[in-house]
Structure formats: C-alpha cells, structure tokens
Amino acid sequence: MTAVKTWLESWPVYRQLTGSDPFGRGKAARSMATEAVVSRTATADRVVKSVCPFCAVGCAQNVYVKDEKVVQIEGDPDSPISRGRLCPKGSASKQLVTSPTRVTTVKYRRPYGTEWEDLELDTAMEMIADRVLEARRKGWQDTDDEGRRLRRTMGIASLGGATLDNEENYLMKKLYSALGAIQIENQARI
C-alpha cells in the first residue's frame, strides 16, 4: 500500500489534484527527474565578476565557469544599480561566448577574391603591419597648403564600437596618434 501511495504521489497530476498546488506551478510539478537536477550555478568551479556588454545601464553579472568553459551568466544581486536583474539581452549574453556561428579563426579575402581563405594569426598581424606602414606613407602630410604643420596621415581610418573597454580605446587613440592617423572614430558619434 505504501509502495502504491509512493508511486501515486510521484505522479505530478495526482499531487496537483490532491495537494495544495492545484495549478501545478510549484511542488506538484516536481518529478524525480526534477529532484535529480542540480543547477549549473551550484556546480561551477568559480564565479567571476563581470558587466553586461549590451546597453549602458551596466548590469553587474556573475559568470559561472566550469572546466574553463562559461556555463551560465546571471545578474549580480549586489549591484546597487541592477540589483541582480538582467533583461533578455543580458540573460542571453552567454551565447555571445558559445554561439555556434561565432568565428574564432582568422579569415582572409584577397583583392578581387571570391571566397574567404584561412590565415595564421601571426602572418595576418605581420601583413597588417606592412599595410599600415604603406598606407601611412601614402597618405602622409607634413604641412598644409600654407605651410602649417600637420604631421599626419590621411591614409588610415578607424571606427570602433562602444563595447570597447576604456583601456582599449586608450591604447587605440595613443597608437593612432603616434602613427599620425586622425580619422579615428567611434560609435559614440553615431
């Protein structure tokens, strides 16, 4: 009899009809499978403090890492601004890391090419450096028409997004200025 009762009670519909949860939104909906589930946040190796990269509310995030992989991202309840909340974008931000269409290797399209090709990262860096020096030379201006100092190149332009870190923007502006490149812009203009 006890066995039958246990069996019956393991059946959510039975508990929903007989128990204190007639809408099946709480206890009644739990099954043995549910009981066996452990949240990814509980088994993570570590929790890393981060910030949502979408809008400028800057909701604080807890990033759960297991086996050097991001397994979950949640709102950080300690934040005075977001108080643990994330909107759909912030909640989906784990997929920025794990997206199946994310491209993680260098792709190269040669002039007049019709397809992408693969390229080693180091080779790409060297090739870009060559082109930067050449473009800088081609667009170089020492002075304007009236002999005023310009000391710049019009051969290199740049446009950054507003998900750049301050430190990244800083190094970019510093390097470009030292190169003489001035057409340096950011989404902040847009």
Partner 1 sequence: MPGLGASFGRGGATNYLEDLANSDCIVIEGSNMAECHPVGFQWVGEAKARGAKIIHIDPRFTRTSAIADLHVPLRMGTDIAFLGGLINHVLSNDLYFKEYVVAYTNAAALVSEDFVDSEDLDGMFSGFDPESRTYDDTSWQYQPEEPRHSGSDDPAEAAELDRTGEDPSVKHADRAQASGSGGPPIPAKPQRDDTLQDPRTVFQILKRHYARYTPEMVAEVCGIEPEVFAQVADWVTSNSNRERTTAWVYSVGWTQHSVGAQYIRTCSILQTLLGNIGRPGGGIMALRGHASIQGSTDIPTLFNILPGYLPMPHALQHSTLEEYVADAAGKAGFWGNKRSYMVSLLKAWWGDSATAENDFAFDYLPKINGDHSSYRTIADMIEGKVSGYFLVGENPTVGHPNGRMNRFGLANLDWLVVRDLQMIESATFWKESPEIETGELAPETIATEIFFMPAATHVEKEGTFTQTQRMLQWRDKAVEPPNDARSDLWFFYHLGRILRERLAGSDDPRDRPLLDLTWDYPTHGETQDPSADAVLREINGTGPDGRALSTYMQMKDDGSTTGGCWIYCGVYADEVNQAARRKPATEQGVVASEWGWAWPLNRRMLYNRASADPDGKPWSERKKYVYWDEAAGEWTGADVPDFEKNKRPDYVPPDGARAQDALAGTDAFVMQGDGKAWLYAPAGVVDGPLPTHYEPVESVVENALYKVQANPTVERIPGPWNRENPSRSEVFPFQVTTYRLTEHHTAGGMSRTLPYLAELQPEFFVEVSPELAKLRGLTHGDYATLVSARTAIEAKVLVTERVRPIRLRDGQVVHQIGMPYHWSYSGISTGDSANDLLGISLDPNTHIQEDKVSTADIVPGRRPRGPELIDFVEEYRRRAGVASGRVGLNGRDPVAADAGEGSTL
The answer to the question of residue 124 lying near partner 1 (CB under 8 A) is: yes
CA separation for the pair 72, 93 (Å, rounded) = 9
The answer to the question of residue 104 lying near partner 1 (CB under 8 A) is: yes
Please choose, from the candidates 45, 90, 89, 88, the residue with its C-alpha nearest in 3D space to the C-alpha of residue 64.
Answer: 45
Q: Least distance to partner 1 from the beta carbon of 29, Å?
A: 23
State the number of binding residues for partner 1 (CB under 8 A): 116
Q: Least distance to partner 1 from the beta carbon of 147, Å?
A: 10
Binding flags for partner 1, 146-175, as an x/- string (CB under 8 A): --xxxxxxxxxxxxxxxxxxxxxxxxxxxx
The residue ranges that bind ligand SF4 (CB under 6 A) are 52, 54-55, 57-59, 82, 86-87, 89-90
Q: According to CB under 8 A, which one of 9, 18, 39, 107 is a site residue for partner 1? A: 107
CA separation for the pair 146, 58 (Å, rounded) = 48
Cβ atoms < 10 Å from Cβ of 93: 19
Please choose, from the candidates 53, 101, 59, the residue with its C-alpha nearest in 3D space to the C-alpha of residue 80.
Answer: 59
